[in-house]
């Protein structure tokens, strides 16, 4: 091999190597705005993110104030992280719940957050001209599953509704009806 051919091979391999390193660095260290916002709801930062919560079991309600902004800036891969955050916050709220009412509220906040995600998915559908995974599988199947699970929550609400004051019961009933309406079904 002559020296000119070795220089071309060396240049080609150098370009491939540098491109590979740059791509690795980009995907390893690049964060979107929604990823930065979700970091605030990780285990380490959660207590500092939601310090003004009247009770420590209201992490999902604290997250709801930012969920619209996070969904607005999210990429399709960020949607998975958002769903994981919603599920993690529900588990934290359920773990910290002492009474049946607090457990009910944790479940209610979970379904309220999911209805926001599903509403966001519908608006994404309206802005596109083609059919995608969201149209065929995600929205109909998840919405149906959420509605079925929400019926179980409504049954548990009926059980302890009789034990609480009428004003609190009416406020919870209003929230339950709003989520029920967003999920598109009514209890029979």
Q: Contact at 8 Å (CB) between 17 and 23?
A: no
Q: Is the pLDDT of residue 127 over 80?
A: no
| pLDDT computed for residue 188 by the predictor | 43
**Tens-digit pLDDT profile for residues 54-63:** 555 578 888 8
> What is the residue-wise DSSP string for 10-62?
HHHHHHHHHHHHHHHHHHHH---HHHHHHHTTSTTTHHHHSTT-SSTT-HHHH
**Average of per-residue pLDDT across 29-53:** 67
Mean pLDDT of the chain: 75
| pLDDT computed for residue 104 by the predictor | 82
Q: Is the pLDDT of residue 186 over 50?
A: no
Q: Where are the domains of the chain?
A: 1-30, 32-183
């Amino acid at each position: 091999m002559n020296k000119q051919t070795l220089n071309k091979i060396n240049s080609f391999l150098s370009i491939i190597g540098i491109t590979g390193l740059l791509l690795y660095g980009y995907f390893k260290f690049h964060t979107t705005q929604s990823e930065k916002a979700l970091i605030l709801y990780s285990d380490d930062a959660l207590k500092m993110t939601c310090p003004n919560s009247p009770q420590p079991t209201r992490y999902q309600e604290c997250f709801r104030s930012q969920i619209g902004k996070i969904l607005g800036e999210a990429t399709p891969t960020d949607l998975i992280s958002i769903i994981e955050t919603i599920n993690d916050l529900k588990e934290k709220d359920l773990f910290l719940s002492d009474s049946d009412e607090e457990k009910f509220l944790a479940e209610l906040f979970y379904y309220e957050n999911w209805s926001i995600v599903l509403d966001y998915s519908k608006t994404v559908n309206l802005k596109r001209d083609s059919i995608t995974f969201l149209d065929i599988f995600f929205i109909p199947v998840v919405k149906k599953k959420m509605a079925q699970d929400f019926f179980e929550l409504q049954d548990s609400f009926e059980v302890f509704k009789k034990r609480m004051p009428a004003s609190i019961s009416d406020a919870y009933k209003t929230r339950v009806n709003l989520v029920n309406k967003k999920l598109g079904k009514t209890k029979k």
